[in-house]
Structure 1
Amino acid sequence: MDKKFEAYLFDLNGTIIDDMQFHAKAWFEILTKDLGAGITYDQTVLQMYGKNQELLERVFGEGYFTQQQIDDLSIEKEKRYQAAFKPHLKLIDGLGVFLEKAYHEGIKMAIGSAAIPFNIDFVLDNLNLRKYFPVVVSADDVMLSKPHPETFTKGADILGVEYSKCLVFEDAPKGVEAAKNAGMQAVALTTLHTPGDFAVKDNVIGFVKNYDGLDLFRI
């Protein structure tokens, strides 16, 4: 086996599960109907990176909400998302086979996500993925969100793998940019964005719709 990559670092939403439309709908309803933001659905999608607090601050400005209000809005959004998405909860096509092969070949794996633990646990526990991902880096584990590289470098550090030997799986332009800033190559999932949405893509070794037919030995 080609050992060019010793570790795979996966984003979660839109990369392991195809749920970004559900996140977008939940955010759009809260931002517009609950909070009265003059923002379109497409503009909402563009703001969906980083921590929940950062999204709210980008839309409304810093200091607009108290920390308690931010925390409450964040949990309310995630509750709405989970309630709507749970009947559809499944791995992106082909990922189950891909993960099992990687696990069998001894490739180290981690989650590197801007999601809060409440959402990460929702996915990992309901889909029984814990054995594949002994390392999880969430929004609560980093000071700086993507496109800062900390999410991925911290995951690599815990796994004990050099950054250049880590391959990132991402669906978001800011996530691919974070991978580049970490000195890592990436595979980009086109679950929400098209290749044209990625301003940074010189570190992308491939754009894929799902994991069907993705050859572990030829990435």
Structure 2
Amino acid sequence: MIRKPHALIFDMNGTMINDMDFHTKAWQRIFNEELGGNFTWDEVKVQMYGKNPEVLERVFGAQRFTEAEKIELSLAKEQRYQQEYLPQLALLPGLAEFLERAYQLNIPMAVASAAIPFNIDFVLDNLNIRHYFKAIVSADDVLLSKPHPETFLKAAQQLQIAPTNCLVFEDVPKGAEAALNAQMPAVILTTTHEQHEFTHLPNIIHYSPDFNGSFFSELLS
């Protein structure tokens, strides 16, 4: 028997939409074409977590860019990502129905993402799903990125639900670790990483490629 959560907290990229390859592609082109790098796809993919300035610092070092340059590069990357991904923009299969069901049951929901508001607005407004969410926590709202629990704890606080009664949906190990650090169980969408990459985390209750299947219907029953 699955315990019905009091609130649902969703990471966005790779969790609600299957877009992480587009983020990786946008960063790889900027790293290599504009910043003189020679990074492989796999080398870029492992950096796909946290705030954009943190990605730049991990790859090029903390002293390479000024704050203004990091902001400029971050925006350029997101503009490139949005332009290429917009024709493919869609919720993961089953998520539209899952959101509507939870909404009808008055289960409070939040988006808790390392994305900047520019990207969150791009998804919520183009897909017309903003009304489902009572709270939105972006990169601009936290000091410490995942795997620190601040992102998820702020979402729970805004929803006025105890962290242990919130269920997180994530797609990357660092995000699932952030949920663990917030004392929240997590469901993993296997869009970006494989199941074996999460085996060290004891808070995972389910793995799925999308939001279809009996687990999701039983979760809200």
Shorter-normalised TM-score: what interval? over 0.9
Segment of structure 1 superposing worse, 191-200 or 114-123: 191-200
Aligned AA for 1:142? V
Q: Matched residue of 2:219: which SS?
A: coil
1:194 corresponding residue in structure 2:
194
Q: Are 1:153 and 2:157 counterparts?
A: no
Moved over 4 A (4+): none
The 2-side partners of 1:2 and 1:171 are apart by 20
The 1-side partners of 2:137 and 2:219 are apart by 27
Q: Matched residue of 1:125: which SS?
A: helix
Once superposed, what is the RMSD of the aligned Cα atoms? 1.5
Segment of structure 1 superposing worse, 142-151 or 188-197: 188-197
Q: How far 1:2 moved relative to its partner?
A: 7.0
Q: Matched residue of 2:23: which SS?
A: helix
Q: How far 1:40 moved relative to its partner?
A: 1.4
- Map residues 51-200 of structure 1 onto 2, 5 A cutoff: 51-198=51-198, 200=200
Distance change >3 Å, CA 3–CA 104, structure 1 → 2: farther
The 2-side partners of 1:170 and 1:2 are apart by 18
Q: How far 1:130 moved relative to its partner?
A: 1.0
1:218 corresponding residue in structure 2:
219
Aligned AA for 1:218? L
Q: Matched residue of 2:130: which SS?
A: coil
Whether the 8 Å CA contact 1:177–1:200 is kept in 2: the answer is no
How much identity, in percent, do the aligned residues show?
54
Q: Matched residue of 2:80: which SS?
A: helix
The 1-side partners of 2:187 and 2:32 are apart by 33
Q: How far 1:192 moved relative to its partner?
A: 1.0
Distance change >3 Å, CA 2–CA 45, structure 1 → 2: closer
Query: How many pairs are equivalent?
Result: 219
The 2-side partners of 1:69 and 1:18 are apart by 28
Whether the 8 Å CA contact 1:173–1:199 is kept in 2: the answer is no
Segment of structure 1 superposing worse, 31-40 or 50-59: 31-40
Whether the 8 Å CA contact 1:185–1:204 is kept in 2: the answer is yes
The 1-side partners of 2:173 and 2:80 are apart by 25
The 2-side partners of 1:83 and 1:91 are apart by 17
Q: 1:167-211: per-residue Cα shift (whole Å, max 9, x none)?
A: 000001100000000000000000011012225421000110000
Unaligned runs of 5+ in 1: none
Aligned AA for 1:89? L
Aligned AA for 1:87? P
Distance change >3 Å, CA 196–CA 27, structure 1 → 2: same
Q: Tell me the TM-score normalized by structure 2.
A: 0.95
The 2-side partners of 1:203 and 1:4 are apart by 15
The 2-side partners of 1:109 and 1:129 are apart by 11
Aligned AA for 1:88? Q
